Amino acid sequence: MNFTSAVEFAAAAAAELERSGSARPVLIGIGSVAGDRGRASNRAYGAAKAGFATYLQGLAQRGSASRVRVVVIKPGFTDTPMTAGLKKGGPLWSSPQRVAADIARALERGGPTSYSPWFWRWILMIVRLLPHPVMSRLKF
């Protein structure tokens, strides 16, 4: 559901944007930093977000032949009802308002992938480079 409904909505939205008369239509999809590297604690959620981001990359490639620009937003920990059961606070947490501001900025000038907040891009670059034996010993 986390994957299929998002893909179906994105496909319909992209088709509608292609038909629109808009000078520079933009489709923004909400992914997650959880999709950048598999973790035991959120494997199904991370897999759905990874799949959705990959689907959007395909749409972006197809969109480059049309006028539609596709942007994937990858928020980190955000204080929302979904994270209600988690301990919050610290520098890695964001407010929904912060993520919304980053989405608005990406709408105007974002590349194909935008992290929210910006520092997640660098954190995840390091996490993606960790060898599997190291990653499997980490508990985060």
pLDDT digit string (tens) for 10-39? 999 999 998 887 778 899 999 999 998 888
pLDDT of res. 47? 93
Whole-number Å distance between alpha carbons of 124 and 135: 12
User: Could you tell me the pLDDT band of residue 93, with boundaries at 50, 70 and 90?
Assistant: very high
Give whole-number Cα distances, 44 to 3, 38, 52, 101, 102, in Å: 10, 9, 12, 28, 26
Q: Quick check: 75 pLDDT over 90? A: yes
Look at 101 and 65; give whichever has higher pLDDT: 101
pLDDT band with cut points at 50, 70 and 90 for residue 108: confident
Supply the pLDDT for residue 51. 95
Query: Residue range 71-90: average pLDDT?
Result: 89
pLDDT at 140: 66
pLDDT at 86 over 90: no
Strand, helix or coil for residue 9: helix
pTM as predicted? 0.87
Q: Comparing 48-52, 84-88, 120-124, which segment has the lowest mean pLDDT?
A: 84-88
CB atoms within 10 A of CB 46: 19
Q: Cα separation of 138 and 134, whole Å?
A: 7
